[in-house]
Structures are given as C-alpha cells and as structure tokens.
Amino acid sequence: MFIAGILAGIAGGFGSGIVYRFGGTTGGTDVVARILEKRRGIAMGHTLFALDAVVLTISLCYIDVLHMMYTLLAAYVFSRLVSLTQVGAYAAHGLLIVSSKNQEIADALMDELERGASYIHMSGAYSKTEREMVYCVIGPNELNVAKRIIGRIDPQAFTSIIDVHEAIGEGFTYDSPSAKNRNIPN
C-alpha cells in the first residue's frame, strides 16, 4: 500500500502538473486552486494538498486511519510533483525585463515582492538603441505575482524568465531586514 500510494502520487502529480503548467484544470478542486493561484499567488500544489487534507480528515467518518494515511501520502506526493512540474525544481527565477517603464516596474517589484532589482545596460541589436534592462531574482512561488505586476505596469514589456539554480544572499539564504521576527546575531 505504501508503494502504491507513492506511485499514484507520482503518476497523478506529474500528469496533472503538465495540465496545470499550460493553464488547464481537470475540473475538480484544482479549479479552486487555480483561482487562488491567479488571485492570491498561492502555489497550486499547496492549495491542492490543503484541500485534500480537509477532505481526507472528513473521510475518517467512513474509512479507517490506515487507508486515510496512505491516501494522504499519495496526496502529498501529488502536490509536490505538481509544484515541481509547474515551476521546476529551481531555487529561484531570474527576470530580465525590457520596458520603457523600467523605473515603475523595478519600484513595484521592490515594494510588492520585497525583492531587490538591478539595472543592466544593454544595446538593442536590431534597434541600435541603448537602454537599461531590469534584473530581479524572485522565489519560485512569486513568479505569477511578478508577471501580474509587470503586465499591469507595461503590457508591452518583454520579459525573459530564467531558472536560477541557487540564490545566495538577503531574502534567499538569510532574512531580509524587513522580515518579521528577525533574529539579529550579536
């Protein structure tokens, strides 16, 4: 039963993750998860697991604890595979943003996501124009929110999203100064 739970979670999570990655749903609780992801930026995998846990807890009225635990294991593996399939197993994402509204975009990313942003000097190969590009590294669960911020400010912005395998520094490997309950070493 243990192996069956893991294999069911792997198969279902990988398959559903592909559907979710390309904007689809299967018509179940994932519709609620998709809405929460789009409106609140909550990862679908987290919402799906929370909803499954609630349903499984209620199911204790008619199934035994052992079967519920195996099903909960499958739901956990499912949710992890959905998250990995949707955003990948990367530590962070790098955003390279070319826009005529660089300052507004950088300010919004810094204010709303509490992430730093940098300008990189660039020259357009086709247009031959010199300009600045915004570079910002964000956590994997912040990608949808960042895309909404950029799209709200400049729908014409060109954004390249790159996978960052490791991000070291403030906000990634240690807390930022604005983090609540920050422990400052002596």
- Among 16, 137, 126, 120, smallest CA distance to 75 is for 16
Provide the H-helix boundaries in the chain: 2-21, 30-40, 44-58, 65-87, 102-113, 143-153
* Letter string b/e over residues 32-68, b meaning 16 or more CB atoms within 10 A of that residue's CB: ebbebbeeeebbbbbbbbbbbeeebeeeeeeeeeeeb
Token pair, residue 130, equals: 């010199």
> In which band, very low, low, confident or very high, does the pLDDT at 185 lie, cut at 50, 70 and 90?
very low
107-159 confidence digits (pLDDT tens): 999 999 999 999 999 998 988 889 999 999 998 778 889 999 999 999 999 99
Residue recorded with tokens 């400049």: 154
Domain(s) labelled CATH 3.30.70.120 in the chain stretch across: 92-164
79-103 confidence digits (pLDDT tens): 888 878 776 655 688 999 999 999 9
pLDDT at 163: 83
**CATH level 2 (architecture), domain 92-164:** 2-Layer Sandwich (3.30)
- Decide: pTM greater than 0.85: no
pLDDT at 174: 61
Residue recorded with tokens 């990988």: 14
